[in-house]
Amino acid sequence: MMGDKARLTKSAFCPIFFTVTGFWRLPFRKKNTFAEGWTSYAAIVENLRAGFARRLMVLAFIEIEDLCFAYPSVHGEKRMALDHVNLSVDEGEFVAVLGTNGSGKSTLAKHLNAILLPTSGVCRVAGIDTRDAARLWDIRQTVGMVFQNPDNQIIAAIVEDDVAFGPENLGVPPEEIRRRVDDALAAVNMTEFRAFAPHLLSGGQKQRVAIAGTIAMRTRCLVLDEPTAMLDPVGRREVLDTVRRLHREAGITVVYITHFMDEAAAADRVVVMESGGIVEDGTPKEIFSGVEAMRKRGLDVPTAAEVAWRLRRQGIRLPEDIVTDEELVTALCR
């Protein structure tokens, strides 16, 4: 995978090559008028300038620019599932994505490891354009996906074989696979279940095995699409704690789609989607202090934020940015 430095060197080299070789005269050849030649020249210079500008800025880990996506339509009429979405996520960020059903969350998630490709616009992950078919495996090794249904994600008959499946497909040597499986199972606290048949596990444990499968691929980013929707409260806690720990200790970038506001409150940043677009983007405190705005969008806020809002309406003086139970208790006991 080409690092930012290598890309920078490469892009810096281009204009030098361009000038020294006389390549700059190319647009003027076979052109009828000087004006036509000049227009092409100006376009090339503009492209170079834009490329330079992007490369000289620190690149975000996920860069989505003006992304539109329409599913193939059966009846002829096309509806944009994603409508001019712009989003950048830095390496190591934990971003929660909220939105009512049909707002485009899963469609967006599927663009992050090239399950879906943009109808127009750009989706770049770790500097790789997801449309670059030659880099598909690089993208799949960079971004791991975990979906809603724990039963659809485990394919092997034994937990450790399932975790080994990804690295085996990448042609990783057996010794290295063994090491990766050990590390991945330890990272999700599932070492003691390594020889279990998946059907003997709870939903939360199965989701942790799915997460281990992506970790064994050494993915730098985890995209989870409602991973706790089918789990009981204990399972939900296990999965969220695992994701938070991986983010905190291993610096994994997390994009976490959820309907549970308490889970979103654990993120660094919350993005709200509506009708295929991003309508809010801020810290959990910024997003959840807008209780009425969230309600208008058909969304809840964490219980503590709701209780604090109701108490404030009754005239009790409380800070506007209460999100967690602990913050509410502290404010009430003051």
Ligand X SMILES: Nc1ncnc2c1ncn2[C@@H]1O[C@H](COP(=O)(O)OP(=O)(O)O)[C@@H](O)[C@H]1O
Residues in touch with ligand X (CB under 6 A): 71, 81, 99, 101-107
101 binds, among Mg ion, ligand X, none (CB under 5 to 8 A by kind): ligand X
- Cα separation, 195 vs 198, whole angstroms: 9
Q: Which is nearer to ligand X, 102 or 298 (CB)?
A: 102
Collect all residues with Cβ–Cβ distance below 8 Å to 182 and sequence separation of at least 6: 191
The answer to whether the CB of 321 falls within 8 A of the CB of 289 is yes
Q: Which is nearer to ligand X, 105 or 124 (CB)?
A: 105
Q: Which is nearer to ligand X, 61 or 69 (CB)?
A: 69
Least Å distance, CB 224 to ligand X, is: 12
Q: How many residues bind Mg ion (CB under 5 A)?
A: 1
Least Å distance, CB 97 to Mg ion, is: 10
Least Å distance, CB 158 to ligand X, is: 32
Least Å distance, CB 81 to ligand X, is: 3
By beta carbon distance, the residue nearest Mg ion is 106
Region class of 284: left (phi > 0), else alpha (psi between -120 and 50), else beta: alpha
208 binds, among Mg ion, ligand X, none (CB under 5 to 8 A by kind): none
Strand 94-99 with 253-257, pairing: parallel
Q: How many CB atoms lie within 10 A of CB 84?
A: 14
The DSSP call for residue 133 is G
Q: Which is nearer to ligand X, 105 or 269 (CB)?
A: 105
Collect all residues with Cβ–Cβ distance below 8 Å to 22 and sequence separation of at least 6: none
What are the phi and psi torsion angles at 255 (to 5°)?
A: -115, 115
Gap between the terminal Cα atoms of the chain? 53
71 binds, among ligand X, Mg ion, none (CB under 5 to 8 A by kind): ligand X
Least Å distance, CB 126 to ligand X, is: 23
Question: Which of 76, 196, 220 has its CA nearest to residue 208?
Answer: 196
Is position 258 an interface residue for Mg ion (rule: CB under 5 A)? no
Q: Which is nearer to ligand X, 3 or 102 (CB)?
A: 102
- Cα separation, 263 vs 225, whole angstroms: 13
Least Å distance, CB 306 to Mg ion, is: 24
User: Which residues 92-121 are close enough to bind Mg ion by CB under 5 A?
Assistant: 106
Contact footprint for Mg ion (CB under 5 A): 106
